[in-house]
Structure 1
Amino acid sequence: MDRFFKLKQHGTTVRIEIMAGLTTFMTMAYILAVNPNTLNAFGRTGMDWYAVFLATALAAGIFTVAMGLFVNFPVALAPGMGLNAYFASVILASAATGQPFTWQMGLTAVFVSGLIFILLTITQIRQMLVDAVPDGLKHAITVGIGLFIAIIGLKNSGLLTVGIESLNVIPKGTFTDVLFFETVFHMGSLQNPGVQIAIIGLVLISVLMVLKVRGAILFGILGTTLIAACMGEVNWGALNNNQTPWLPHFDKLQFMSFDWNGIMHTGIISVIATFTFVELFDTFGTLVGTANRAGIKTNTEEGKKQIGKAMLVDAIGVSGGAMLGTSTTTVYIESAAGVAEGGRTGLTAVTTGVCFLLALFLAPVVALIPGSATAAALIIVGVLMMQSIREIDFQEFVIGIPAFMTIAFMPFTYNIANGISFGIFFYVILATIANLGGKGKYKVHWLMWVLAVLILARYIFIGSQG
């Protein structure tokens, strides 16, 4: 153990590493319930809940162990929050277009994007993004995704409803009556048991977080489920249901469920480009943030080498997760909880990964958790991601305006890629003009110019959908 993970060199012990790994698992185990509920979307996407649960536990277990063994990095992976919500939203939104985008097509797009990630990592282009994108935009991406996740949680819980209202315009002169429609947000009915459970979950998780309880989100979800059970809102049949067996039934795994013909007809370039674009910025931002919290200097040669290895495992995890049947698998910022407990090596990650593999035997328990309880967790995750806003200097308009565009466009257009696109485009334009005006202090990496051109081309030739 000491020789393989270099424990003494990192000033740690087996006991510390194992406890750190357990802590990381407790802080991110909520994904076992949240991801199946998000991708299943109450049966609207067509994805099987149990199959997604299996894929979630396997992907988190396998690739977290790989991160520990091959990179010696105390970081865990699992299907990413925000990315899973985006995956589901694309499927649901396509239903209204008359050209449905199925979950099989989505997994195909994620798989190909993972292959692109592997290529970008091997050629060092992905690592360049660490230096190319300014810190202000990196933090803005995190904040925007947090708001996006929060809106998903609010809608799933019923706390937020979206309706269409009509506005009659009084005729003027020879103009006839014109009827306008606008989309408005409303607060959900407090008489709805689902809304009541979500509020209880929000309060319970918030209290546990204020008390600094490790695994507050997980314990909050479990506590909310117990209260929901007392309210008669839990389906106990899941404990004795062939759809959620105690022993893992891997034959139900949606392995390699790709639809190459379907995605070709849907527009493979547009679909894959969108998924790749969203995943690229979300994953690298989380990876760098986690590395910084783990005390790994990303600006040193050794640090860059280790980040490069971690990015390769992360990239393989994207395609591997799609093969197992889940949305993008990526590193988790919750890994910082294990780091705070003293985790410094890959033994922390291996411990976390083993815990996820053991969780394969808990499917019936996870199935008991009501959707409103996991929706509350989504909202709280949004709160955690909002913390990055304090790192953005909005008084520096060259950074503040692009950061605001990034944050605003993600939730309001219901599309993560739109926010990232507008942020990068505005930064390149404003930083270049500021430099020409005599304030040559803003760095505009050549890769940012390439991205700006690609963004412009995307909206001109492909459009804003997808």
Structure 2
Amino acid sequence: MESFFKLKELGTNVRTEIMAGITTFMTMAYILVVNPGILSGAGLSFTSVFLATGLAAGIFTIAMGVFVNFPVALAPGMGLNAFFATTIVTSKATGHEITPEMGLAAVFISGIIFFILTVTKIRQMLIVAIPDGLKHAITVGIGFFIAIVGMKNTGLMHIITFEDGGTLLTMGSLKEPTVWLTIVGIGIIGAFMVLRIKGAILLGMVLITLIGALPGVDLVDFGTLNNASWAPSFGELNFWHMDFADLLSTGLLTAIATFTFVELFDTFGTLVGTANRAGFFKNKEEGTKKVGKAMFVDAVAVSGGAMLGTSTVTAYVESSAGIAEGGRSGLTSVTTGVMFLLALFLLPIALLIPSPATSAALIIVGVLMVQSVKDIDFTDLVIGIPAFLTIAAMAFTYNIANGISFGIVTYVLLAFVAGFKGEKKHQIHWLMWILFFIVIARYIFVVE
């Protein structure tokens, strides 16, 4: 293993890598429960999504380790799965009826597009095309979006939908057991994180589940232990359950464009950020090459995840937890992937987790993503205004793509105006101009 993963060259060892891999798994294992919980709301089977989540995370994280030697884990993306369930399948953005199978077909096609964009190196160009401030704003906006999803799923916040598709956020009732247990869960996970306890989110979810099982709360159904099998029931896996029949319909074209659009910005930031934290960009050429290889695996993982029956698979920022523990090679990823495959035998336990546990985890993950706001210079209005609109549009319109679109359009316009004053600080990459016109076209010709 030292030879294959170049451990000595990277200044690490087998023990450190394995411990780092386990740490990464513990920080993102919540996805095994949260993803099925979200996608089951879109009409997919909880069990099938659980299996797809574990298989996709295991297979493609191992692939990242073996083929790229990169300590980054992949799994169905938070925010993207919520987008799949609450926007695409329910057709709030498109006005067209889209089934879960059609949604998975859209994810599959977007993966093919990612692969083409990666081969042509257009995806890699985003590393230099998108201003850093806008990259951080996208992360922050998705953090707010995820937190809203968590509050909505447990009743802490209600989303009122109007006839025209608009939404309004309102406070839920604090008297409901699911609501107050979510609040308690936020406090528990938050306390664990303040104390720097490894796997704080996962341990917090376990403790919330135990509280939910207490008499008088009764949010845990122990009957699932008798009815669910401990062996993975792969017959329930929705493999290749995709509907390509209406691929050229306006609704599906919008879904494909949106998944492609959102994933473009969601993944490259994570890959660049984790690579930088691991020290790979000390040699910029080598770091860029490694991130480029990682994008190939990521592109295959998107389509592969859709084939297995889950929403977009993407690189996870929680990988930074393993990197912080000393993970520097693909052995970290291989360890994490193996842990996900072993977790397939824990479905009955996953079914016990009540919604307050997953909702509290979502809200805390939102907090972690919002931390990127410190890296945005709001005093520079060419960056500050687009960054603010990116964040606000994602949260207030309950739509990730809207936020990214607002950010791109306003940045290009403001940077162009600043250029008339002779300012050279904000350069507009040619790719940003292409994205600018794509966004304008999307709202004129596609979005109703």
Q: Deviations over 1:313-362 (max 9, x none)?
A: 01100000000000010110101111111111000000000000000000
**1:389 aligned residue (373, 395, 398):** 373
The answer as to 2:90 corresponding to 1:88 is no
Change (3 A) 1:16 1:422: same
Q: Deviations over 1:132-163 (max 9, x none)?
A: 00000000000000000011011111111234
What is the deviation of 1:461?
A: 0.8
**In structure 1, the residue corresponding to 2:281 is in which secondary structure?**
coil
Written as runs of structure 1 = structure 2, the 5 A alignment for 1:105-184 is: 105-163=102-160, 184=168
Residue 173 of structure 1 corresponds to none
Change (3 A) 1:384 1:251: same
Written as runs of structure 1 = structure 2, the 5 A alignment for 1:14-413 is: 14-41=14-41, 45-91=42-88, 93-94=90-91, 99-163=96-160, 184-230=168-214, 231-241=217-227, 244-297=228-281, 300-413=284-397
Q: How far apart, in 2, do the equivalents of 1:2 and 1:183 lie?
A: 54
Q: How far apart, in 2, do the equivalents of 1:12 and 1:275 lie?
A: 37
Q: Deviations over 1:110-130 (max 9, x none)?
A: 000000000100111000000
**In structure 1, the residue corresponding to 2:75 is in which secondary structure?**
strand
What letter is aligned with 1:14?
Answer: V
What is the deviation of 1:285?
A: 1.4
Change (3 A) 1:214 1:344: same
What letter is aligned with 1:27?
Answer: T
Residue 176 of structure 1 corresponds to none
Q: How far apart, in 2, do the equivalents of 1:311 and 1:132 lie?
A: 16
Q: Identity, % of aligned pairs? A: 63
TM-score, structure 1 normalization: 0.92
Q: Which structure's CA Rg is the greater one?
A: 1
TM-score, structure 2 normalization: 0.96
**In structure 2, the residue corresponding to 1:438 is in which secondary structure?**
coil
What letter is aligned with 2:46?
Answer: W
Q: How far apart, in 2, do the equivalents of 1:21 and 1:58 lie?
A: 17
Q: How far apart, in 1, do the equivalents of 2:445 and 2:133 lie?
A: 29
> What is the aligned length?
446
What is the deviation of 1:395?
A: 0.3
Assess if the C-alpha contact under 8 Å between 1:298 and 1:307 holds in 2.
Answer: no
Assess if the C-alpha contact under 8 Å between 2:167 and 2:398 holds in 1.
Answer: no
Q: How far apart, in 2, do the equivalents of 1:127 and 1:434 lie?
A: 27
What is the deviation of 1:265?
A: 3.6
Residue 440 of structure 1 corresponds to 424
**In structure 1, the residue corresponding to 2:386 is in which secondary structure?**
helix
The answer as to 2:440 corresponding to 1:459 is no
Q: How far apart, in 2, do the equivalents of 1:246 and 1:395 lie?
A: 55
In structure 2, runs of 5+ residues without a counterpart are: none
What is the deviation of 1:268?
A: 3.4
Which contiguous aligned blocks of 4+ residues in structure 1 show a shift greater than 6 angstroms?
95-98
What letter is aligned with 1:234?
Answer: V
Residue 170 of structure 1 corresponds to none
In structure 1, runs of 5+ residues without a counterpart are: 166-180
Q: How far apart, in 2, do the equivalents of 1:134 and 1:364 lie?
A: 45
